Amino acid sequence: MLIDCSDIQLDIMKPKNDFETKVFEFFQECLSDKLTTSIKSSGSTGIPKLFDVEKSRMFASAKMTCDFLGLKKGNSAALCLPIEYISGKMMVIRAIERQLILNVLEPKSDALANLETEVDFCAMTPLQVEHSLDKLHLIKKLIIGGAAVSESLKKKIYDSLKTSNQEIFETYGMSETLSHIALRKIYPITEDYFTCFEGVNISISPSGCLIINAPSISPDLIVTNDLVEIIGENQFRFLGRIDNVINSGGAKIFPEEVEALIKKETPYEVVVTAILDDVLGEKMIAVVEAPPSEDLKLKILNINYRRKLDRPKDVIFIENIPRTPNGKVNRIDLKAIINRYKDE
């Protein structure tokens, strides 16, 4: 389904499947007099929840993204994310706000399989990018969100794109910020810091977590659980979630930093978590989504870690790492699985 958002005509839209029907229904909601819409949180760090947001704030968020990326009326965009979540809803809102031509694709892992023409703008998850490397050259400006972009995926992106005609960004945001409030370029160059949109101010809480002040998208300050390092007035480096921090023998370990290091050495998905330990309190474990391999285990254990305590105490291989419906790693379920492993 192709929708020209400079001249939206709901009466001629002909949805051909369930996803297109949901998109059509959200267009109806966006263009109605209703002031709010319901958003479902991802559930990656807790139970998914529904909350209402003002559509005007969603349009303010959309304008920030479109301005940052320089999107213009008549540009093309591809929607390939679930419409139940903020990620998919915001692609529709951006298309309406900037009067884009929206190509509606089913939100599958290989979402770009049927894409044959160039698109100015698209948003995807890392898993979708992994299954669409042969089509990335068709996307001029791509944002990747929903989960961190691994080092191995970055390498695959560089290997698949030999020109600098594309721009690819990693996003920072959450349901409460109505999608992202900052982007970090990862192609054709790699930036270390996220850059906030105009109208977004940031600071750090006493515990070291990011505080977001963005009046146009949230009436209240948003105090996150994300540990960051701020540089200048509008840039920050993500260190890890405070609720993921592992306390092992009194020392704090940021699992996301350890994961990034391990992922440079293997193409497999890796999640660092912890199991309960009588001596250390928590014992750090690297979980690899791959067939068991003693060679890979030794390789991971022998990486030159920044600190000795950053070396995992064990490496566990499992067939499937649990994920939420929109593709994020479900760390709560994974920890439960690994602690069952400990008891076996």
Instruction: Write the pLDDT tens digit of every residue in 281-326.
Output: 888 999 999 999 999 999 999 999 988 889 999 999 999 998 877 6
Spell out the residues 6+ positions from residue 67 whose beta carbon is closer than 8 angstroms to its own. Answer: 197, 198
Q: Which band of pLDDT confidence, cut at 50, 70 and 90, is reported for residue 47?
A: low
pTM, full prediction = 0.80
Residue 46 has pLDDT above 60, yes or no: no
Residue 335 has a pLDDT of: 85
Average pLDDT for the chain: 90
Q: Using CA atoms, how far apart are residues 141 and 171, in angstroms rounded to an integer?
A: 13
pLDDT at 158 over 80: yes
Closest CA to 259 of 249, 246, 272: 272
3-state secondary structure of 35: coil
Query: pLDDT grade, residue 51 (50/70/90)?
Result: confident
pLDDT of 183 above 90: yes
Q: Does the pLDDT value for residue 344 go beyond 60?
A: no
Rounded average pLDDT over 109-123:
94
Which residues of the chain are in CATH 3.40.50.12780 domains?
Answer: 2-241
- Amino acid at position 125, single letter: T
* pLDDT score of 43 more than 70: no
Q: CA-CA distance, 344 to 333, in Å (whole number)? A: 17
Q: Classify 166 as helix, strand or coil.
A: coil
For residue 299, give the H/E element and its range: helix 294-301
Q: Would you say 109 and 129 are in contact if contact means Cβ atoms under 8 Å apart?
A: no
pLDDT at 249 > cutoff 70: yes
- Rounded average pLDDT over 135-164: 89
- Report the candidate in 176, 192, 200 with the shortest Cα–Cα distance to residue 68: 200
Q: In this structure, are residues 239 and 213 in contact, taking their beta carbons and an 8 Å threshold?
A: no
The answer on pLDDT for 205 being more than 90 is yes
The residue among 34 and 45 whose pLDDT is bigger is 34
Tens-digit pLDDT profile for residues 21-34: 999 999 999 999 99
In the prediction, which pLDDT does 52 show? 86
User: Quick one: pLDDT band at residue 48, thresholds 50, 70, 90?
Assistant: low
Least confident of 105-119, 187-201, 323-337: 323-337
Position 327 scores a pLDDT of 67
CATH fold of 2-241: Rossmann fold (3.40.50)
pLDDT the model gives residue 67: 97
For residue 118, the model assigns a pLDDT of 95
Residues of the chain with CATH 3.30.300.30: 245-343
Count Cβ neighbours within 10 Å for each residue of 55-90 and write b for 16 or more, e otherwise. Answer: bebbbbbbbbbbebbebeeebbbbbbbbbbbbbbbb
Angle between helices 255-263 and 151-160 (to 10 degrees): 40
Mean pLDDT score, 31-57: 77
**Quick one: average pLDDT of 123-139?**
94
The model's confidence at residue 162, banded by pLDDT at 50, 70 and 90, is confident
Tell me if the domain spanning 245-343 has CATH number 3.40.50.300: no
**pLDDT attached to residue 281:** 84
